Structures are given as structure tokens and as C-alpha cells.
Amino acid sequence: MTTETRVDASIDASIDAFINALPKVELHVHLVGSASVATVLELSRRHPGSAVPTTEEELRAFYRFVDFPHFARVYRAVNALVREPEDVATLVLGLARDLAPQGARYVELQVTPYAHHMVGMPMPEVTEALDLAARRSLTEHGVEMAYIFDIPGEYGEEAARITLDHALQEPPAALVGFGIGGIEQERVKFRDAYRSAFTAARAAGLHSVPHGGEMTGPETIWEVIDGYGAERIGHGINCLTDPRLVAHLRDTQLPLDVCPTSNVRTGQIARIEDHPLPRLLEEGLYVTLNSDDPPMFATTLAEEYRVAHRVFGFGVEELAGFARNGVRASYLGEARKRELLAEIDALVAAG
């Protein structure tokens, strides 16, 4: 992909229609963070006495984050409302329902088993809910669902052990990856435990897809590369201050799953206009576009494509390039990848 072709920064009807029709994959979205406002309100009313508001106006105010630690506290509060396996399935199906009209065909959904363990959900029941929801997502909404189990990085050795145990002992059929999220600054305390967990997960055939370089600098990105064997990196936006790292990412074409609106909403970037997305492409890095926690950030997967056009001036070829990158960086089978890439090419050709 290049950044040379630019178009008018406004969204016209033809570009909007193209974005809606463009076959897409979503590679960086979290289960709890994908819950619509209506779903969260339903859960908060079902479980009164939580820290989560029970009216839409209050909930939208609750989602105005001042920094990442504040976002993490809000995320944990919403996560605490997910108390039954049926709640897990409801969230997965809600995401599929929301993504289908946006042209999404495939999702790699990040699930945090430790959070479900903390509220007493047995591993087999969580897995059964995920399996059921994956089947229904495909049959009812035409969206293929895969899963990534991620460690909440601030919770340490127990979280790593339980996440790994669930991944190895009771995996859902569609489990493809192993990751880590949460507050990056906390990970250094548990470095050995996290490295060991990723080593075991990779030995079992899971792909390594950790977060890195969202709220810390290049050192965290190097850690997920060298210590976790990263095959894709969530965010990675703070790589640009390290020329050696930029060269490594360029040479290896290690994909970065970038979520522009998320970075602004959690205070990692001051303004969307300041986002390094154009610079990442100018440096020749491999970038996919994703939504992260869409209702919490008042965005969607399709909206991230609109932001790329409206704010940075990317045209049809560049937007299609993001979609192609997502397909190629996914863990879909090769035949399905070829089908989706052919659909993207046909849409561009129809012009």
C-alpha cells in the first residue's frame, strides 16, 4: 500500500457505498468491548448494584475516558456484568449482528477467560457458549467467528496460568490465537510468566497475537517480538521512535492491527489528525484497520474505513488495500482468503 493517491476529504455517496460493500475482516475487537449500548444496559439492569449506569445518557457519559487506566476501570466494570455463559453467547451474537451490515465476513474475537473465571464460570460452559455462538454467527448472520484468548496483562501469573489452561484444556473449536492486553506498563513485573505462557501456547499450535506499543514505547514491541514470538501485533503505533524497530517491521512485514479511534478515545493520541497511520504506511509497514471496542469508542469497523478516507484522504485503492491486508493477515484458510481477495478485487474493478 502507498499513501500517494489522495481524494477530497469529504465522504461522498459513492465512497460511503464502497466502504459498506467492501468485504472486510475484523482482527482486533474485544468481546466485552463489542457490547452495544443496549446490551450493556440490559445487563446492568439485570444485575443491579454494579458500577455501570442503567440509563443510556449516563452510560454514554461513563464511556468518556480520560486516559487508558480510566478506560481499563470502566472495561472491568462492564466485564463484571458478564456473569453467565448465556451472556457470553449473547455478546458474540450481538457482535456478528452488528458487523454483518458493515461487510464483515470474518472476525478474530479477543476473549479474556480469566475474567469469566473470576465470576465463577466453569471453563467447559464458557467454551460451550463460544462454540454455540460461533455456529449461530455464521448461520444467522453470515459472519465467521474465530477466537483469540488473551491474558489481562496487569493480573500476573494466575491470569497467565488460567488463560493458558483454558486454551489447552477446554479450547473452543474456533480458537486460533493467544494474546495479551491490558495495561502494558504492568507486564514487566510478570515477564517470565508471560513468556512461558506464550511459549506453551505456540507449542500447542496457537498463533501469537499480543498487544504492544499502544501505551508504551518500542521496548514493549521488542518484548512481544523477542519474548512472545508475535506473529501480529495489536496497535504497535509507538514503533516510529525506533528506526531499528521500524526497519525490522518493514523487512518482516509483521502486521500491525491499528485502531485509530480507539487510540484517541483512550488518550494515546491527542487528535485523530495526529494519528501516525499515514506515517506507518509511508514507512512501508503492514497495517490492518480495526475497531477494538467499538460501542465504547463510538465507532464501528466501517467507520474506521471512513475515518481513513475523511481524515487522511485515502481513496478506493488504499481502502481496498487495508481490506486485503486484513484478509492476508488473518488465520482464515487459504481457499477462503482467495475467495475474499477475489471479491475485493471485483468490487474495485466494478468501480
287: pLDDT strictly greater than 50: yes
Quick one: CATH architecture of 13-350?
A: Alpha-Beta Barrel (3.20)
Report the distance separating Cα 51 and Cα 65, nearest Å.
Answer: 15
> What burial class does residue 208 get, using C-beta atoms within 10 Å of its C-beta: 0-12 exposed, 13-18 middle, 19+ buried?
buried
**214 classed as catalytic:** yes
Model confidence, pTM: 0.92
* Structural contact between residues 260 and 299, judged by C-beta atoms closer than 8 angstroms: no
pLDDT at 333: 96
Tell me the residue ranges of DSSP E strands in the chain. Answer: 24-30, 104-111, 144-152, 175-181, 207-208, 211-212, 233-235, 256-258, 287-289
* Structural contact between residues 19 and 302, judged by C-beta atoms closer than 8 angstroms: yes
> Residue 26 corresponds to which cell in the numbers above?
475484523
> Residue 319 corresponds to which cell in the numbers above?
481502502
State pLDDT tens for residues 183-240.
999 999 999 999 999 999 999 999 999 999 999 999 999 999 999 999 999 999 999 9
**CB atoms near residue 124 (< 10 Å):** 12
**CB atoms near residue 73 (< 10 Å):** 11
Which of 154, 214, 223, 303 is flagged as catalytic?
214
Report the distance separating Cα 106 and Cα 142, nearest Å.
Answer: 9
Query: Would you list the DSSP string of 17-32?
Result: HHHHHS-EEEEEEETG
> What burial class does residue 30 get, using C-beta atoms within 10 Å of its C-beta: 0-12 exposed, 13-18 middle, 19+ buried?
buried
Mean of all residue pLDDT scores within the chain: 93
pLDDT at 156: 97
* 101, 170, 237 from 144: Cα distances, Å: 14, 20, 28
Mean per-residue pLDDT for 268-287?
A: 97
Report the distance separating Cα 247 and Cα 283, nearest Å.
Answer: 9
